[in-house]
Amino acid sequence: MIEKRIAVIGTPGKWSTEVLADHLQRLTGFRCVVDMAEVVLELASGRLHYRDLVLNELDGVIIKKISEIYSPAADDRVRMLSQLEKDGVPCFSRPSQVGRLLNRLEGTAALARAGIPMPATRVTESTDAALGIVNQFGKAILKPLYSTKARGMVVLDASDGESANTDKLNAFKVEHGLFYLQQFAELGGQDLGMVFLGGEYLCTYARVGDAGAWNTTIHSGGKYRNYDAPPELIELGSKAQACFDLSMTTVDIALTEQGPVVFEVSAFGGFSGALKGCGIDAAEKLCHHALETLRTSA
């Protein structure tokens, strides 16, 4: 047993958070799940308090979940945790990198700058411009800047007519403001989650969509399957995740008629997909990675 105090930033009671805490308890004897809703940041000292614990005094933290729902408030929580990074507390992953991926625009803009193939994407506040983009694409996915598992996404089809699409755009703008439009990609019933740990390839799982659903997310009825990714696809995923310095991540890839495209890089990575699709306990591997990093940096 290695005597290190590593806390899990996550959602108490959620499987992905609790399994991390269980592994850490077995490996280190210490168990702590931190709910960011209860953390207090002391600005003068930069100390973060969670109940009777001072997070700045820990040996490290694993950030698994900032919030159940991505929002600007989740970004505020990352900014609070950035004080740990400033104080030299090892964070897996670093808050400065996690924050780049909470906002869809910042994350995908980094991929675009690196030349990563993605579906054609346009961003605007103009309803008229958005209508023109839908007509140009023929079919588009309207995405909130803050969301996961396809929540809040809207399919816009030029064949539905200008009036129907204007109504959808106006309703979306009331809640989200900015239009992030991506050309609809035919997934062929599945897309892929490519998992990386410490920048190294771990495995790939497929999300096979439920009949009738336009997306393949588990939230919409999709199922996990193993996928034997060829070297050129792994190279693409590796290039995408290298845009960010993350302890663990999943790269979402679709195989289209025009070739593979990357949808996004996850801020946290998918334990469930790796376990159910590939039989790999990525949570345990992340804990070992964190402990080995602490050992070699001591």
Give the residue from 37, 115, 49, 23 showing the smallest Cα distance to 74: 37
Mean pLDDT value across residues 93-121 = 94
29: domain CATH number is 3.40.50.20
User: Given this model, what pLDDT does residue 219 score?
Assistant: 55
Same domain, 176 and 198: no
How large is the average pLDDT for residues 121-137? 96
Tell me the average pLDDT across 177-192: 89
Q: Is 224 a domain residue?
A: yes
Q: Which pTM was predicted?
A: 0.90
Mean pLDDT, the chain, as a whole number?
92
For 230, other C-beta atoms within 10 Å of its C-beta total: 8
Shared-domain flag, residues 201 and 271: yes
In this structure, the answer to whether residues 24 and 94 fall within a common structural domain is yes
Same domain assignment for residues 94 and 148: no
Alpha helices (H) along the chain = 15-28, 72-86, 95-102, 104-113, 127-137, 162-176, 231-241, 271-278, 282-297
| Cβ proximity of 142 and 186 under 8 Å | no
Summarize pLDDT for 198-229 with one digit per residue, the tens: 999 999 999 987 655 545 555 555 789 999 99
CA 279 – CA 272 distance, rounded (Å): 10
Q: How confident is the model at residue 268 (pLDDT cuts 50, 70, 90)?
A: confident
Task: Specify which residues 226 forms β-bridges with.
Answer: 205
Residue 141 placed within a domain: yes
In a shared domain, residues 94 and 127: no
Of 72, 101, 130, the position where a domain reaches its end is 101
Count CB-CB contacts under 10 A for residue 296.
7
Q: Averaged over 4-23, what is the pLDDT?
A: 96
Residues 143 and 206 in one domain: no
The pLDDT of 102-130, averaged and rounded, is 95
168: helix, strand or coil: helix
Asked whether residue 290 is domain-assigned, the answer is no
- Judgement on whether residues 12 and 93 belong to the same structural domain of the protein: yes
Give me the domain span that covers residue 277: 187-281
**First and final CA of the chain: distance in angstroms?**
17
Residues 152 and 65 in one domain: no
User: Higher model confidence: residue 145 or residue 81?
Assistant: 81
251 assigned to some structural domain: yes
Confidence at residue 217, expressed as pLDDT on a 0 to 100 scale: 59
The sign one gets for the Cα dihedral 143, 252, 222, 273 is negative
Q: Is 219 strand, coil or helix?
A: helix
How many Å separate Cα 97 from the centre of its chain?
11
Q: Are 17 and 11 in contact (CB under 8 A)?
A: yes
**Amino acid identity at 34:** V
CA atoms within 13 A of residue 272's CA, in its CB half-sphere: 13
In a domain, 257, yes or no: yes
Residue 81 has pLDDT above 80, yes or no: yes
Both 77 and 47 in one domain: the answer is yes
| Residues 33 and 78 occupy one common structural domain | yes
Q: Is residue 69 part of a domain?
A: yes
Specify the CATH number for the domain of residue 228: 3.30.470.20
Let me know whether 179 and 191 are in one domain: no
CB atoms under 10 Å from CB of 65, counted, come to: 20
- The pLDDT of residue 212: 55
Treating both helix axes as pointing N-terminal to C-terminal, what angle do 15-28 and 271-278 enclose, rounded to 10 degrees? 90
User: Is 255 inside any structural domain?
Assistant: yes
Percentage of the chain modeled with pLDDT above 90:
79
Q: What is the pLDDT of residues 156-180, one digit of tens each?
A: 999 999 999 999 999 999 888 899 9
Whether pLDDT at 71 is above 90: no
Judge whether residue 10 has pLDDT over 60. Answer: yes
How many structural domains comprise the chain? Answer: 3
pLDDT of 214: 47
**Is 232 inside a domain boundary?**
yes
Q: Examine the fold and report which residue of 132, 157, 183 is the final residue of a domain before the chain moves on.
A: 183
Are residues 205 and 232 located together in one domain of the fold?
yes
Q: Which residues contact 109 (CB under 8 A, 6 or more apart)?
A: none
